[in-house]
Chain A
Amino acid sequence: MVDVAVERNSAASPRPARKRASLRTAMKRKSTAAFLMTLPLILLIVLLVIYPAFYSLHLATLNKSMQRFIGLGNFQFLFKRETFWLVVQQSCLFAITAVVFKALIGFIVAHFVHNIPAKGQRKWRGMLLVPWVIPPAMSTLAWLWLFDPSYSAFNYLLAGIGVDRIPWTGEAGWARFSVILVNIWFGAPFFMIMYLASLKSVPDQLYEAAAIDGANWWQRIWYVTLPMMRNIIAITTLFSLIVTFANFDIVRILTAGGPLDHTHMFATWAFRIGIEGGDIPLGASVSLFMVPILAIAAVFILRDINKRGNEA
C-alpha cells in the first residue's frame, strides 16, 4: 500500500528524478530489511521445527542403537503389540470425550456468565479462568493429592454420604475417568472465555428480532447463537482437540500411564519408551502416529481461518 501511495505521488509530480532514485534504493532496502527481520523466525522454524520433524521420520527407521536402517521394522513391531492398540484407543477416547465435555461445559458456563448483570461478570470470569492460568503440572499435583489412595479428600466427603472409597487412580476405569476429569477441569475455562468473547459479538438486534417472532430460549440458541458462533466453536474445538490429543503433563503426573498402561496416551508412551526405555527410534515412531490427526485438524483450522480472512 505504501508503494502505491508513493508511486501515485511521483506520477503527480514529474519533477524529481533524484527523488525517484532514492526511492528505488529505499525499495531495495525494504525487501532486504523485510528479509532480515524475518530471518530469525525462518531460522527458528527451519532448524528447530521442520528439521526435527523430518529427522524424527529418519529416526523412526533405525534400530534401537541407531546404527542400522530397518525400514518399517519399528512400525511392524508396534502393530503387533497389544499396548500400542490400547494407546491408540485411549488417546482417541480421552481426546474426544474431554473435548466434547469441555465444549459443552464451556458453552453452558459462557451463557450463564453472559446472563448475569455486566457488573458482576468480570469477577465470575476471573474466578472461572483460574484452572487455565495455573501451570498444568502444578494443578495436576493438587489433583493427584485429592485422588490419593489413602488420604483422598474426595473419598472423605463420599464417606460422609455413605459411598465406598473410590480407587481414583488405582483401577483402570476410574483412572481413565480421573484423567478425563482433570483434562476437562483444565480445558473448559478456555472454551468458556472464547465463547464468551464470541457471545458478546452477537448483535442484540438478532435476539430482539427472534423474540418478536416468538422464539423460545431454545430456538434463540439454535437459530441465532449457534450459527453466529459457528466459526469460533469450530476453531476452538479443533485447537483443543490437538492440545488434548498431544497432552503429556496430566497423564504423566496423575498416573504415569498406569495401572498396567491403561491410561497411556501417545505422548506419555513415547516418553516412556524413548527417554525412560532408551529406545529413541521406537519412541519417535510412536509419536509420529499423532501426525495424521493433527494434520486433519490443522487443515480444517486453516480452512476456517482463510474463510474468515476472505469475509473480513
Chain B
Amino acid sequence: MTSTVMIDKGAPRRAVKQHSMSRDRTWALRWSYFFLTLFAIFSLVPPLYMVITSLKTSAEISAATNPWWVYHPTLSNYVELLTSNQFLTFFRNSALVSIFVVTITMLISVPAAFALARMRFWGSATLATGVFLTYLIPETLLFLPLFKMFAAFGDLTGIQLINRWYVLLIVYPTLTVPFCTWIMIGYFASIPKELDEAAIIDGASWFQTLTRIFIPVALPGLIAATIFAFTVSWAQFLYPLVFTTSTDQLVLPVGIITTLIRGDVFAWGQIMTGALLGAAPPLIIYAFLMDYYIAGLTAGATKG
C-alpha cells in the first residue's frame, strides 16, 4: 500500500495510468492475502487439531460431536502425562541425548570447519567435498549395517550398545556433524583474512585465533548450527526405533508411538498431548530464534 502512495506523490500528472496501476496493485495484494490465508490454514490445521484433541477427554473424543470444537476443555491429559514416570523418562532421555549430541557436534565440527576454511593442507578440498557428500547420505541407508556393527561390537567386547540410549550419542553425530561443519566452513570463510592475519602477527596461536576471533565473529552461524543439531537430534525417529526397545531407554518420538499406541486401542487425547509436548521444544526455539533458524536453513545452499 505504501508504494502506491509514493507513486501518486511522485507522478501526479499521469493520474489515469496511475489509478489503474494502483488498482492492480490492490487486487494483487488482496489475492496474495487470500491465498496466503489458505496456505496458512493448510499449514496450521494439524498442529491446531493436536491442541484441540489434547484438551478433550476420551469420552468426548469418542462421542459423535463436532471434532473441531472442544465442548468440555480439560487439562487432564497434560496432568496425566506430566506425572507419568514413563513419559518423564522419555523426556529426560530425549533431553540428555539432544544436549550431548549438540555438544559433541560442536566440539567436532567447529575445529574441523576452522581447519578446512583457513588452514590449507593436503586433501583439505577433498575433505570439504566429502563432508558435504556425507550430509547427503540419508540415515535410511545406514541403519541396518550400523545395527549389525553395534551387535557385533557387543559380542566382541562385551560392551552392550544396542538398547541403550547412549548408543544414539554415537550415531546422531553422523547426521548433525556434516551439515554443521559445512555451514561453519561458509561462515568462517566469510571472515576477512586480515582479521586472523592481524591476530597471527600479534602472536596469537591457531587455537587463540579460533577462540578469540573466529568463534565470536561467527557467533550467529554457531547459533544456527546449534539449533540445527538440536532439532535434528530431537526429531530423529528411525535410529531410536531401531537401536532401542526397552521402555526406559526410549526417546520421546518413539516412546509416544510405541507405548501410547497399543494394538487397536488408540488413546488419542494422550497421543496428541504427547505429540504436542514432543513438538514443543523445537517450536519454542523456533519462536524465539526464528532468524537464526532460517539463517541455518538457507545457509546450507546459499553459502557454497
Number of A-B contacts (CB under 8 A): 290
A5 to B192, CA, bound (A): 14
A interface footprint on B213-247 (CB within 8 Å = 1, 0 otherwise): 00000000000000000010011011001100000
The reply to whether A52 and B283 contact each other, CB–CB distance below 8 Å, is: no
The reply to whether A34 and B124 contact each other, CB–CB distance below 8 Å, is: yes
Binding site of B, secondary structure by majority: helix, strand, loop or mixed?
Answer: helix
A interface footprint on B32-75 (CB within 8 Å = 1, 0 otherwise): 11011001101111110110010000000110001110000000
A39 to B70, CA, bound (A): 56
The reply to whether A151 and B67 contact each other, CB–CB distance below 8 Å, is: yes
The reply to whether B131 and A45 contact each other, CB–CB distance below 8 Å, is: yes
The reply to whether B136 and A130 contact each other, CB–CB distance below 8 Å, is: no
The reply to whether A284 and B145 contact each other, CB–CB distance below 8 Å, is: yes
A34-B124, A49-B134, A142-B272 known; A40-B298 Cβ under 8 A:
no
A interface footprint on B271-304 (CB within 8 Å = 1, 0 otherwise): 1100110110011001100100110011001101
The reply to whether A143 and B304 contact each other, CB–CB distance below 8 Å, is: no
The reply to whether B197 and A135 contact each other, CB–CB distance below 8 Å, is: no
Q: Distance (Å) between the CB of B20 and the closest chain A CB?
A: 14
The reply to whether B304 and A40 contact each other, CB–CB distance below 8 Å, is: no
A128-B43, A142-B50, A298-B133 known; A38-B115 Cβ under 8 A:
yes
B interface footprint on A254-296 (CB within 8 Å = 1, 0 otherwise): 0000000000001100110011000010011001101100100
Q: Does B148 contact A (CB under 8 A)?
A: yes
The reply to whether B149 and A136 contact each other, CB–CB distance below 8 Å, is: no
Q: Does A100 contact B (CB under 8 A)?
A: no
Nearest-neighbor residue (CB-CB) of A122 within chain B: B290
Q: Does A146 contact B (CB under 8 A)?
A: yes
Provide the residues of chain A in CB contact with B271, threshold 8 Å.
141, 145
Q: Distance (Å) between the CB of B148 and the closest chain A CB?
A: 6
A-B contact pairs, 23 of them (CB 8 A): A30-B119, A33-B119, A37-B112, A40-B107, A51-B149, A56-B145, A59-B145, A112-B39, A113-B36, A126-B287, A134-B46, A134-B283, A136-B235, A136-B237, A137-B257, A148-B268, A157-B68, A198-B302, A267-B138, A275-B242, A283-B144, A294-B137, A302-B129
Closest 4 CB pairs of A and B: A135-B235, A246-B138, A267-B140, A52-B145
